[in-house]
């Protein structure tokens, strides 16, 4: 097979950052994806419909005229979020849901939630208005091992949430563990998960063996191989609860290669090719279309895309760096070869 065509994919978890960085990040994702869920962890965070619409406009201003990209905005869930705001968001076609960041869990999450239990009135409103909850599923307690944070969050918070709000539509983002796979598989049709290329293609050896590799550092952190294999099994299973969300997270090289490097992998320059690499390596290219272009749209109750994207079997190298107005970025898979390339 020398070419492979799928419906144009969507990215159900994307960081674009803001201001000058948008000139680089928006075209990179818009060249491949029809729609993307835009993460709200700016500084200050995007906590209101008004702020989300202003951010959306800044994104659209960087969109090349020939692209059909639709940014779908998420609002940052805080202790100040109200049921009234949930109703306002539900009435806006450009707002897709609310993002729950535990305070301190990842980049720009200081304003995040400190008490999940206190969110009950807001979660009730989200269930009532059918507004999805997008979850960064990690606890941040100092006494919890970083490799166990996802499992503890699921047991401590997600299971009670799904029991108390059984029809709340919930997406556990960028899952990393066998525990997360089991939770999603065992939960109702209202629970789904996104998967990143780095968590499918790598495990913690790729972060730590031979020295720390800062451009493979992300949160939730890469886990042991046994967890990676469970993620792979779920992605290859054809289960509609699992779908594409790159979590592409741009940071300039100087912010990654430092004593306290930022968490995040900037995968946008090779996003769909990375997923194609994974599915092809497992003899399952026929599963890519649903994973990348179908299951996410179905869960979010949106029409599947009718336009198409073609991949060509052609070996190429991911660029060593990507220039931005803020300085160079080192993309995920930098300098490494991939066997599929988007047809121009």
**Domain map (residue ranges) of the chain:** 3-342
Tokens of 3: 């070419």
* Number of helices (H), then strands (E), in the chain: 14, 11
Supply the pLDDT for residue 45. 95
Q: What is the pLDDT of residues 270-287, one digit of tens each?
A: 999 999 999 999 999 999
Residue 1's pLDDT band (cuts 50, 70, 90): confident
Q: What is the pLDDT of residues 212-255, one digit of tens each?
A: 999 999 999 999 999 999 999 999 999 999 999 999 999 999 99
The answer to whether residue 104 scores a pLDDT higher than 90 is no
- H/E stretch holding 63: none
Supply the pLDDT for residue 112. 63
> Binding site annotation covers 99?
yes
Q: What is the pLDDT of residues 10-36, one digit of tens each?
A: 999 999 999 999 999 999 999 999 999
Predicted TM-score (pTM) of this structure: 0.96
Query: Distance (Å, rounded) from C-alpha 277 to C-alpha 105?
Result: 30
Query: Distance (Å, rounded) from C-alpha 2 to C-alpha 26?
Result: 29
Closest to 249 (Cα-Cα) out of 177, 329, 326, 170: 329
Q: What is the mean pLDDT of residues 289-309?
A: 98
The answer to whether residue 321 scores a pLDDT higher than 60 is yes
Q: What is the mean pLDDT of residues 102-125?
A: 77
Tokens of 256: 């990654």
The answer to whether residue 256 scores a pLDDT higher than 80 is yes
Distances (CA, A) of 102 to 110, 113, 115: 8, 5, 8
Supply the pLDDT for residue 118. 86
Supply the pLDDT for residue 344. 76
Supply the pLDDT for residue 186. 98
> Binding site annotation covers 136?
yes
> Binding site annotation covers 247?
yes
Supply the pLDDT for residue 117. 81
Name, in order, each residue with C-beta under 8 angstroms of 255's C-beta and a sequence gap of 6 or more: 261, 262
Closest to 268 (Cα-Cα) out of 220, 324, 315: 324
> Binding site annotation covers 22?
no
Residue 41's pLDDT band (cuts 50, 70, 90): very high
10 Å CB burial of residue 226 (0-12, 13-18, 19+) is exposed
> Binding site annotation covers 36?
no
Active-site residue numbers? 247
Supply the pLDDT for residue 20. 97
Domain covering 3-342 in this structure, CATH number: 3.20.20.140
Residue 107's pLDDT band (cuts 50, 70, 90): low
Closest to 231 (Cα-Cα) out of 161, 301, 150, 344: 150
Residue 115's pLDDT band (cuts 50, 70, 90): confident
Residue 110's pLDDT band (cuts 50, 70, 90): low
Supply the pLDDT for residue 109. 56
Tokens of 62: 């960087």
Give φ, ψ of 37 to 5 degrees: -85, 120
Q: What is the mean pLDDT of residues 182-197?
A: 98
The answer to whether residue 126 scores a pLDDT higher than 90 is yes
Q: What is the pLDDT of residues 57-99, one digit of tens each?
A: 999 999 999 999 999 999 999 989 999 999 999 999 999 999 9
Query: Distance (Å, rounded) from C-alpha 67 to C-alpha 19?
Result: 20
């Amino acid at each position: 097979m020398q070419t492979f065509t799928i419906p144009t994919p969507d990215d159900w978890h994307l960081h674009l950052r803001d201001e000058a960085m948008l000139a680089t990040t928006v075209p990179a994702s818009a060249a491949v994806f029809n729609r993307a869920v835009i993460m709200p962890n700016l500084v200050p965070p995007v906590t209101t419909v008004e702020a989300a619409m202003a951010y959306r406009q800044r994104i659209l201003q960087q969109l090349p005229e020939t692209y059909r990209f639709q940014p779908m905005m998420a609002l940052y869930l805080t202790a100040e979020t109200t049921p009234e705001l949930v109703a306002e968001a539900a009435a806006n076609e450009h707002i897709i849901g609310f993002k729950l960041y535990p305070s301190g869990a990842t980049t720009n999450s200081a304003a995040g939630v400190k008490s999940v239990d206190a969110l009950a009135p807001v979660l009730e409103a989200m269930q009532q208005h059918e507004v999805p909850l997008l979850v960064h599923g990690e606890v941040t307690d100092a006494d919890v091992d970083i490799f166990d944070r996802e499992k503890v969050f699921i047991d401590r918070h997600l299971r009670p949430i799904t029991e108390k709000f059984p029809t709340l539509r919930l997406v556990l983002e960028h899952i990393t563990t066998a525990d997360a796979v089991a939770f999603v598989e065992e939960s109702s049709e209202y629970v789904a998960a996104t998967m990143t290329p780095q968590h499918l293609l790598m495990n913690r050896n790729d972060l730590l063996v031979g020295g720390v590799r800062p451009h493979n550092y992300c949160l939730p952190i890469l886990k042991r191989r046994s967890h990676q294999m469970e993620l792979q099994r779920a992605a290859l299973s054809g289960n509609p609860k699992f779908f594409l969300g790159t979590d592409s997270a741009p940071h300039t090289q100087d912010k990654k290669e430092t004593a306290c490097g930022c968490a995040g992998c900037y995968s946008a320059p090779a996003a769909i090719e990375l997923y194609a690499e994974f599915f092809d390596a497992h003899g399952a290219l026929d599963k890519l279309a649903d994973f990348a272009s179908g299951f996410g749209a179905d869960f979010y109750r949106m029409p599947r895309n009718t336009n198409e994207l073609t991949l060509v079997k052609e070996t190429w190298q991911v660029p060593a760096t990507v220039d931005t107005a803020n300085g160079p970025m080192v993309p995920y898979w930098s300098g490494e070869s991939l066997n599929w390339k988007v047809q121009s």
